[in-house]
Structure 1
């Protein structure tokens, strides 16, 4: 409770069955996240993959690859930012932006999800 007003980042190489929380940004530097719950008051940067689990940021979420070919339940949620996928996002991933829901129904290449108009989630292919 005493640290709520302190800006703090978290840096890890990877996470497996973990809970990670930061008042500012979270950086996953290497392999990625597996069945983890990650919460950030700022942005989340995942230089690898997110397979299973939930990612929740107030800012942007930038990730190399999300979900899996086997359909492991993966949730990406931001309250005010964008979600940028640099490589692939698989069928079954759930995207929430500003309380708007989008269920991914097929594998997509590099893509940005946003909610600039406040109505529906927009998809922009890179």
Structure 2
């Protein structure tokens, strides 16, 4: 029993350090109250006063909590080589299949996908390379650096809100946003001409 508890202590401390490192890189608006509560609880029990641990069940509960947060921050579906993440910051992601960012978004990161890329939130700074379709909630930032999206000839790129200086390349055919635009759709037609649909924001 002692060896098992000791192993779980070591795992939790290692897990906490990894999660803390990733949280420090996240913008404050992406750090939820639940995540902060988890970090504070593990610090209280394991770092500040480990002797206050009530019983094995409490340790088991914290371990399960750590596993859930690790999956929430970034999880891999290895069978299909897909990647699903909540948020990414200063990170490179490479997947043979789809990449889906379900949380607030991506900051200064690079995504390379063999198929589709979906970013529900923002994509600011960095680059997306995808062979399939790309959908982004918000691309670039006001007055920010260049943010690029590169796709194959057959792909469709849809963006809810695009900022100036953002660039989209479909098989070498490019579109640079010179102003803020909404409901953007970019695709090559049958003759290879770039078709743009969108409205000024």
| Contact 1:66 1:93 (C-alpha < 8 Å) held by counterparts | yes
Q: Distance in 2 between matches of 1:59 and 1:12?
A: 18
Give CA deviations for 1:51-98 in whole Å, capped at 9, x if unaligned.
000001000000100000013210011113011012x10100011002
Structure 2 gap segments, 5+ residues each: 1-78
Pick the aligned partner of 2:132 from 51, 59, 62.
59
TM-score by length of 1: 0.89
Q: 1:15-53, CA deviations, whole angstroms, 9 ceiling, x for partnerless residues?
A: 101000110000100011111010000000101000000
CA contact (8 A) 1:98 1:118 kept: no
Residue of structure 2 aligned with 1:35, choices 96, 99, 108: 108
Alignment CA distance shift 1:118-1:72 (3 Å):
farther
Is 1:95 equivalent to 2:186 in the alignment? Answer: no
CA distance in 2, matches of 1:117, 1:102: 18
The CA RMSD measured in Å over matched residues stands at 1.4
- Is 2:162 the partner of 1:114? no
Which of 62, 79, 82 lines up with 2:156 in the alignment? 82
- 1:26: which partner in 2? 99
Aligned residues: 120
Which of structures 1 and 2 has the larger relative contact order (alpha carbons within 8 angstroms, sep 6+)? Answer: 1
CA distance in 1: counterparts of 2:123 and 2:171, whole angstroms: 21
Please state how far the C-alpha of 1:118 moved relative to its aligned partner: 4.7
The structure where strand makes up a greater share of residues is 1
Name which one, 1 or 2, has greater alpha-carbon Rg. Answer: 2
Gaps of 5+ in 1: 1-5
